[in-house]
Amino acid sequence: MSSVHLAILAPFIVAAIIPMIYPYTKKLHTGWFVLFVPASLFIFFISFLPMTTSGETMLLTLPWVPSLGIHFNLYVDGLSLLFALLITGIGTLVVFYSIYYLNKKSERLHHFYIYLLLFMGAMLGVVLSDNLITLYIFWELTSLASALLISYWFHRKESIYGAQKSMLITVFGGFAMLAGFCLLYAITGTFSLREIIDQLDVVVSSPLFIATMLLILLGAFTKSAQFPFHIWLPDAMAAPTPVSAYLHSATMVKAGIYLVARLTPIYGGSPEWFWILTIFGLLTLTWGSISAVRQKDLKGILAYSTVSQLGLVMCLLGVGSAPLLDPEFSIAVITTAVFHLISHATFKGSLFMTAGIIDHETGTRDIRKLGGLMAIMPITFTISAVGLAAMAGLPPFNGFISKEMFFTSMIKATERSFFGLGDVGLLLPIIAWIASIFTFLYCAVMFFKTFTGQFEPSSFKKPVHEAPLGLLISPLILGSLVIIFGLFPNVLANTIVKPTVESVLPTLPPGQISVMLSLWHGVNTELMMTIGVVCLGSVLFIFMKKWQNLALYKRDRDPLHWFYDQGLIGLTATSQAITRTQMTGRLRDYFAYMIIFILALLAWTFSYTNAWSFRIDHMTDIPWFMYIAALIFIAATIALPFIKQRLTLIIFAGIIGYMMALFFALFRAPDLVLTQLLVETVTVVLLVLAFRHLPEITKEIRSKKTKVFHIAISAAVGLFVTVIAISAYSFGTEIGLRSISDYYIENVYELGGGTNMVNVILVDFRGLDTMLEVLVLGIVALAVIMLVKHRFKGGEDV
């Protein structure tokens, strides 16, 4: 196991240790013990920068389930390293911020940091995994950890609602993504991303190509809050602010972005991939920016702004996904996407933290109650001003550079003719410009409504003052990076951005990719578009009172939430109706449902595979006493439905069991004989002890239809078991296959290392089955212990 494997497992290991050390950390905030994990991991991953900067990559293999092609393989390149640095770097700042944000006396800190570390480890697993199944496992772990963090304040109804919504939507997308991964395996015979990319021609020519694309994009869109699946993100703001700053601005919501970037070498170049990403990206960008303007809560504004910014990056990944058609254009567009990804993590992380500071110090995030905080909280004001200016795309901050590059990409797209861009390409810069106007507007609303105006102390339940230094350090660092990356963007050009672009576009020669970033692009169309954004956005803000009474502005809740709520109501009602139909309280009904399903599955399988075969000429002669034993067995079985006394019923059931033991003896299986005799004896004794306390069997009135239905099911079961047995024997003899028993005879000693065939089959060849049986028995034993332990004294259990 490599050091990178250990780096992924480290958060999980520390999460397991926290419950043990938590009782001893009551005097010191638990966050101080957790802080070293992301900090040390960040330093560890920085050490890979020289490798990726030089264009090298690293593939680390670790077999896991080789028979299924599942391995814990890790791949380190520019793209995975960028996300690993974001996860650990932002994670370090978030943990430090949470130490001062969460009160150690009133919060369940051990729960919070366990969930946070689980999420951190899962995200590292997602971005570093080369195996699709391993990636999927970590992907779903991020959904689980995210739901646990969102519901951290579980006593609040909105926290539970937000956690449930995020889980349902992202896990639904995850299942679709898993189906896409399985189809890719069916096409290529491997789960390895590297090997799938090597078989690109096979994937593209497959009739399943579009199906895999759509299923995987469904997973990416749900995770990265793309329209119309974005509705879970605003409700996730019920989580504590450190969670929002970490999961919903810098890491989890970018998992879908990562997946799209990672799979661009496979799907990039296809018109379907290009247009799906471009259209949904622009739609998400526009819808998110308009929705953000309607919000009255600081975190609500930031949530929809995150949706909008994610749409921008997704659009860029779509527009730049065809490097073989226009290499220079694709390099410029993907460079924009990568740089904005970094910029967004810095300014959005700082803004979430300052929103948390305002809430922490004033007791509210409602912009209708806030105002005049500029003089009261000058440091928070300065950090927020920098972050909001960057998000609005104003110089000299990093958001201005990426926004100008975004405009350039959209303008240059109009000059391209591939995939029909010449017909509708003009719409791209227009839509991008309109969305940018609303982006500027919600930034202005957040800034002026929070920090300017008259400060009214009576509007707040507690004295308002500047936050302590501990709360300010993390957003100060992120705000400083916003300025540094704006003034000196080429600090990232060759160390981070270029290796990432090379990873997204591996089909291009590394020497062809060059990255040069600059704050000033001269007086050009893009600058004029920015001036237009500022002017028109300012006009809309100045005359806001004229249009804020519109129904669109007053309705801050996204109308798409209605579809989710109604869908959930319908799903609940349907499940309740099905449950009422199935859960009748009668054991025979439950058996009927299960047997009908199994019979239908077997019938379909036999029909689909043409498995029916009937051949008895190879059967050995049956001795006369076997017929007698069979007749006794059949007679006892037929007699069961007609017996009215429980004791007699138990005796006849015992006869059937002992006759089965006799059959095992006749077929020379002494181990099975012993097992059957022991089980049957214990069962009969237990039944006798239990049934002697019950009243006599009362005659149950059943309709003829019910009786015929039950007889038909019973006959069908017997018929299918017989058909399966005959077909299994006949099919093997027809095509000359050796029997299963011959295989065991040849391999029991060599592969299992034992001479007792039955024991070796149970322990080695069927070891997993036996382990699960033992697990079930253990669960039953625990249940019995709990029932006995909690039994009420002197009366019946209730």
Q: Which amino acid is at 168?
A: L
Contact partners, residue 410, CB within 8 Å, separation at least 6? 319, 428, 429, 432
- What band does 172 get if pLDDT is binned at 50, 70 and 90? very high
* Cα gap 399→424, rounded to integer Å: 27
Main-chain dihedrals φ then ψ at residue 521, nearest 5 degrees: -110, 5
Contact partners, residue 419, CB within 8 Å, separation at least 6? 271, 274, 275, 322
**For residues 93 and 151, is the Cβ–Cβ distance under 8 A?**
no
Helix (H, G, I), strand (E, B) or coil at 739: coil
- What band does 736 get if pLDDT is binned at 50, 70 and 90? low
pLDDT of residue 796: 47
pLDDT of residue 793: 52
**For residues 356 and 245, is the Cβ–Cβ distance under 8 A?**
yes
For residue 453, what are its two tokens? 């105006």
**What's the Rg (C-alpha) of the chain?**
33
**In the predicted model, what is the mean pLDDT of the chain?**
88
- Spell out the alpha helix ranges (H) of 452-586: 469-487, 490-492, 498-504, 525-542, 544-547, 551-554, 560-582
Instruction: Provide the Cα torsion 396, 401, 404, 408; round to 10°.
Output: 150
Main-chain dihedrals φ then ψ at residue 533, nearest 5 degrees: -60, -50
DSSP secondary structure, 506-528, as one string: TTS-GGG------S---SSHHHH
**Per mean pLDDT, which range of 631-635, 698-702, 760-764 is the poorest?**
698-702
> Other C-beta atoms within 10 Å of 789: how many?
7
- What band does 10 get if pLDDT is binned at 50, 70 and 90? very high
Greater model confidence, 148 or 732:
148
pLDDT of residue 582: 83
Q: b/e string for 432-459 if b means 16 or more Cβ within 10 A?
A: bbbbbbbbbbbbbbbbbbbbeeebeeeb
User: Residue 786 CA to chain centroid, in angstroms?
Assistant: 34
* Cα gap 68→62, rounded to integer Å: 14
* Cα gap 593→584, rounded to integer Å: 11
Measured at the CA of 315, the angle between CA 310 and CA 319, to 5 degrees, comes to 155
- What band does 252 get if pLDDT is binned at 50, 70 and 90? confident
**For residues 533 and 440, is the Cβ–Cβ distance under 8 A?**
yes
pLDDT by residue (tens digit) across 472-531? 999 999 999 999 999 999 999 999 999 999 999 998 887 888 888 988 888 899 999 999
> Other C-beta atoms within 10 Å of 165: how many?
23
What average pLDDT does range 663-685 have in this prediction? Answer: 84
Q: Which amino acid is at 513?
A: I
**Per mean pLDDT, which range of 70-84, 166-180, 563-577, 648-662 is the poorest?**
648-662
pLDDT by residue (tens digit) across 218-232? 999 999 999 999 999
> Other C-beta atoms within 10 Å of 751: how many?
12
Instruction: Please indicate, yes or no, whether the overall pTM of this predicted structure exceeds 0.85.
Output: no
**For residues 200 and 286, is the Cβ–Cβ distance under 8 A?**
no
**For residues 669 and 660, is the Cβ–Cβ distance under 8 A?**
no
Helix (H, G, I), strand (E, B) or coil at 366: strand
* Cα gap 443→769, rounded to integer Å: 59
Helix (H) or strand (E) holding 341: helix 327-362
pLDDT of residue 694: 66
pLDDT of residue 107: 80
pLDDT of residue 699: 64
Greater model confidence, 197 or 685:
197
pLDDT by residue (tens digit) across 117-164? 999 999 999 999 999 999 999 999 999 999 999 999 888 899 999 999
What average pLDDT does range 417-435 have in this prediction? Answer: 87
Instruction: Provide the Cα torsion 673, 678, 680, 684; round to 10°.
Output: 160
* Cα gap 286→306, rounded to integer Å: 12
* Cα gap 369→296, rounded to integer Å: 10
Place of tokens 């382990």: 771
Helix (H, G, I), strand (E, B) or coil at 509: coil
DSSP secondary structure, 556-569, as one string: -S-THHHHHHHHHH
What average pLDDT does range 171-194 have in this prediction? Answer: 95
Q: Which DSSP symbol is given to 252?
A: G
Main-chain dihedrals φ then ψ at residue 58, nearest 5 degrees: -140, 125
Q: Which amino acid is at 524?
A: N
Burial-class residue 794 by CB neighbours within 10 Å (0-12, 13-18, 19+).
Answer: exposed
pLDDT of residue 765: 80
> Other C-beta atoms within 10 Å of 656: how many?
17
Residue 685: C-alpha distances to residues 58, 531, 719, 781 (Å): 64, 90, 32, 19
For residue 592, what are its two tokens? 């009927």
